[in-house]
Chain A
Amino acid sequence: DTAVSQTPKYLVTQMGNDKSIKCEQNLGHDTMYWYKQDSKKFLKIMFSYNNKELIINETVPNRFSPKSPDKAHLNLHINSLELGDSAVYFCASSHGLAGVADTQYFGPGTRLTVL
């Protein structure tokens, strides 16, 4: 049974479109994350939510908007897609205890290609 799942696995779209990537975890974790892995393989955090509240928001264009309907889901909506948004996006989750760094469990990734 998949712990952290993402849909879709692949997403090919035109510049200027709006798209969403969905993430769900069944681990009972309180914290979820979105990471972007660019062409240089650099895995960088974008957002972190704890119990549906935003706790980390790195320097990310405001075209990216995370939405957490409940603590098991964290979706990523991207408006006006640009070529530079092409990357692999990973969702992750962790127990999220305050002040404690703990293991993060990753989804399989969504490869976004903007044409």
Chain B
Amino acid sequence: DQQVKQNSPSLSVQEGRISILNCDYTNSMFDYFLWYKKYPAEGPTFLISISSIKDKNEDGRFTVFLNKSAKHLSLHIVPSQPGDSAVYFCAASSTDTGNQFYFGTGTSLTVIP
């Protein structure tokens, strides 16, 4: 049973515009969420995180929004750059399970120059 879902397998955005990647989860106990970025033939690299006590976390061009009631989080990239083209995974964990993260299947973002 997949507890974290990314329903859009791919997304294309023009350079300079906003990219919005979405993630839904089913387990209401999840309280820590991360986004990872993955280039081909490389491992996922950490991008940004958010804990459930916040509804927004910003780091430069990247902002993650958390809507706990909807069990939904999103990653906004503004402005999008060609180097942002990659697969983005969201992951979730709950404090009581410590380090066990559940990953979505990823969204492949293409930023068109």
Contacts and interface: CB of A to CB of B under 8 A. Distances in A.
Contact of B34 (A35, A55, A99, A103): A103
Chain B interface size band reads 20 to 34
A94 B36 CA distance: 14
Contacts of A101: 31-32, 93-95, 97-99, 101
Contacts of A41: 87, 105-106
A115 interface: no
A56 B36 CA distance: 21
Interface string B71-113: 0000000000000000101000111111111110110000000
Interface residues of A, number: 30
A107 B93 CA distance: 20
26 contacts: A4-B43, A33-B99, A41-B87, A41-B105, A42-B105, A43-B106, A44-B103, A55-B98, A56-B99, A92-B43, A96-B99, A99-B96, A100-B98, A100-B99, A101-B31, A101-B32, A101-B93, A101-B94, A101-B98, A103-B49, A104-B46, A104-B99, A106-B44, A106-B45, A107-B43, A108-B43
Interface of B: 2, 31-32, 34, 36, 41-46, 49, 87, 89, 93-103, 105-106
**Minimum-distance CB pairs A-B, first 9:** A106-B43, A101-B93, A43-B103, A101-B32, A106-B44, A103-B46, A41-B105, A108-B43, A107-B43
